[in-house]
């Protein structure tokens, strides 16, 4: 759907956590705003709860793949990212944790600077959580907007086992509505992590942020791919777009342009626009991080979730700082996670494990280890020689973990195995995460153009009206899901844009 006009106060590229928060804030400040999104609105129908449709057939897959070389692979392989209004917020599992104060050591602003925006983001996303010393959280200016729901049986099993081991389980803050009567409430099903919510009970930004703002000057143009930005005399003059329905090109202009297409697609758009050629070449597209994630699976002598209940409710954060002195970063956290359906297991399990694992799916229970990974210049996004169906250069993504990343991950895996064994299971395998759902860091912000591509307000050095407001801005990854940090920082960026006086007439 093409935008209704050619000129706006602000043009936002991407509708995920970053783009939606900037768009909502600028519209509330009186800006005329358009969001350009290559995906479609979530359907919210029965197929959105179908593992076959959503996971196996990739119902919301983009029209063009990324080409990825990861681990120690020699060849690039296609990876089809999600493209939907609301971005990854539509399919994420709801985890909404803050970074710790110590995570900001190499950032151009502090946790204290971001804290008020964390609080605002939690209110907008309706976060359900509990202030708990066991969560090892940083200082807060107030409580969570809503209390969490009761633990379901699988989570309670792990909770009790952890206590017997002397560990300190805490409640995982979630953007999933349990208590707010003004919105659809969670049915506590298992089609949450990786799925759109048919009910709208997951407070994704499509429903919680964008739709309410559409009555206040915000326009969302879906099925629009951004080809490049036209730059002239140190400013973005227009945004060149492709209509996904017929492949035709058109241009949109804005006094301010905010790119929030994600840590893989944002650098791709900027590189296609001719940036990254001189001093910024040392940073644009580089220092890609994704967390060093792995799922630890255990086999139990009984059905672990016969009720089919949602149980992504626990977090083990007490290990967060254990390796910081030794390795220079956070260690990370361990989270409860649901078991996929047998069909999904068969489709994605390592070769030789798919069929036997699917037969015993009802006996499995798992933990997700989220370990911090360090920024490395050679982990990067570049433009390839090939072109996609719209004639645009494709993105080539290279990523490899460092030895220290694997040490952090192993530290968490050992403790996850102990918890699962203490609950009555026997850990049988660990499965690394191959997706880039936590991709971040490719257009890092910094105090100086000598050390980053963005200034502290996330404005691109040397381009007066260009901002970046997604996970790309993060100098380091921390050890928790980055979604809440992306949302909080986007609110901060929007405030800087309004204070700068650009946009609203």
Q: Mean pLDDT of all residues in the chain?
A: 94
What is the pairing mode between strands 249-259 and 170-171?
unpaired
Separation between Cα atoms, residue 381 and residue 287, nearest integer Å:
9
In this model, does residue 505 exceed pLDDT 60?
no
pLDDT tens profile 379-407: 999 999 989 988 999 999 999 999 999 99
Name the nearest CA neighbour of 328 among 358, 373, 283: 373
Q: Which residue carries 């935008």 as its tokens?
A: 3
pLDDT tens profile 47-63: 999 999 998 899 999 98
Rg (CA), the chain: 22
In this model, does residue 504 exceed pLDDT 70?
no
- Residue 26 contacts residue 18 (beta carbons within 8 Å): no
Residue 132 binned pLDDT confidence (cut-offs 50, 70, 90): confident
Strand positions, DSSP E, 38-110: 66-70, 77-79
| Neighbour count for residue 399 (Cβ, 10 Å) | 20
Name the nearest CA neighbour of 97 among 296, 312, 400, 265: 312
Residue 503: predicted pLDDT: 47
Residue 171: predicted pLDDT: 96
In this model, does residue 502 exceed pLDDT 70?
no
Beta-carbon contacts of residue 153 (< 8 Å; ≥ 6 apart): 305, 307, 309, 311
| Neighbour count for residue 103 (Cβ, 10 Å) | 24
Residue 307: predicted pLDDT: 93
| Residue 61: HSE in the Cβ half-sphere, 13 Å Cα cutoff | 15
Residue 215: predicted pLDDT: 80
pLDDT tens profile 28-86: 999 999 999 999 999 999 999 999 999 889 999 998 889 999 988 889 999 999 999 99
Name the nearest CA neighbour of 416 among 405, 434, 428: 428
Separation between Cα atoms, residue 146 and residue 148, nearest integer Å:
7
For residue 307, is it left (φ>0), alpha (ψ between -120 and 50) or beta?
alpha
Annotated domain spans of the chain: 7-499
- Average pLDDT (274-290) is 92
Check whether domain 7-499 has CATH 3.50.50.60, yes or no: yes
Name the nearest CA neighbour of 273 among 224, 230, 225: 230
pTM to 2 decimal places: 0.96
Least confident of 10-19, 238-247, 485-494: 238-247
């Amino acid at each position: 759907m093409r935008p209704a006009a050619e000129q706006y106060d602000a043009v936002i590229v991407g509708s995920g956590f970053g783009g939606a928060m900037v768009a909502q804030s600028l519209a509330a400040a009186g800006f005329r705003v358009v969001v350009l999104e290559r995906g479609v609105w979530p359907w919210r129908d029965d197929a959105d709860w179908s593992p076959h449709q959503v996971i196996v057939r990739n119902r919301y897959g983009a029209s063009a793949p990324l080409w990825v070389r990861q681990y120690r692979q020699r060849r690039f392989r296609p990876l089809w990212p999600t493209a939907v209004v609301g971005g990854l917020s539509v399919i994420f599992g709801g985890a909404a944790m803050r970074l710790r104060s110590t995570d900001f050591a190499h950032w151009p602003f502090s946790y204290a600077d971001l804290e008020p925006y964390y609080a605002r983001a939690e209110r907008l996303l309706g976060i359900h959580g509990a202030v708990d010393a066991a969560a090892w959280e940083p200082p807060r200016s107030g409580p969570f907007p809503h209390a969490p729901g009761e633990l379901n049986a699988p989570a309670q099993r792990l909770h009790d086992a952890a206590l017997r081991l002397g560990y300190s389980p805490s409640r995982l803050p979630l953007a999933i509505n349990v208590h707010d009567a003004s919105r659809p409430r969670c049915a506590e099903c298992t089609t949450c992590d990786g799925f759109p919510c048919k009910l709208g009970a997951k407070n994704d930004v499509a429903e919680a942020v964008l739709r309410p703002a559409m009555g206040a000057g915000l326009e969302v143009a879906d099925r629009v791919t951004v080809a490049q930005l036209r730059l002239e005399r140190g400013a973005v003059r227009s945004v060149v777009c492709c209509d996904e329905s017929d492949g035709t090109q058109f241009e949109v202009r804005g006094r301010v342009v905010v790119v929030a297409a994600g840590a893989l697609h944002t650098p791709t758009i900027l590189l296609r626009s001719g940036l990254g050629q001189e001093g910024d070449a040392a940073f644009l597209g580089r220092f890609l991080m994704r967390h060093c994630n792995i799922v630890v699976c255990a086999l139990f002598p009984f059905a672990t979730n016969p009720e089919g209940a949602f149980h992504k409710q626990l977090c083990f954060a007490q290990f967060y700082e254990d390796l910081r002195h030794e390795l220079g970063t956070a260690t990370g956290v361990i989270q409860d996670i649901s078991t996929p359906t047998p069909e999904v297991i068969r489709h994605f399990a390592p070769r030789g494990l798919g069929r036997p694992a699917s037969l015993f799916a009802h006996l499995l229970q798992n933990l997700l280890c989220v370990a911090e990974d360090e920024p490395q210049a050679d982990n990067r996004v570049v433009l390839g020689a090939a072109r996609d169906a719209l004639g645009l250069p494709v993105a080539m993504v290279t990523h490899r973990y460092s030895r220290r990343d694997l040490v952090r991950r192993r530290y968490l895996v050992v403790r996850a195995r102990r918890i699962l064994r203490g609950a009555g299971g026997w850990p049988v395998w660990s499965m690394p995460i191959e997706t880039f759902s936590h991709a971040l860091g490719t257009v890092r912000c910094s105090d100086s153009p000598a050390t980053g591509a963005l200034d502290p307000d996330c404005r691109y050095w040397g381009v007066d009206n260009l901002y970046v407001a997604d996970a790309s801005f993060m100098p380091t990854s921390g050890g928790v899901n980055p979604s809440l940090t992306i949302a909080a920082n986007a609110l901060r960026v929007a405030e800087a844009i309004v204070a700068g006086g650009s946009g609203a007439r």
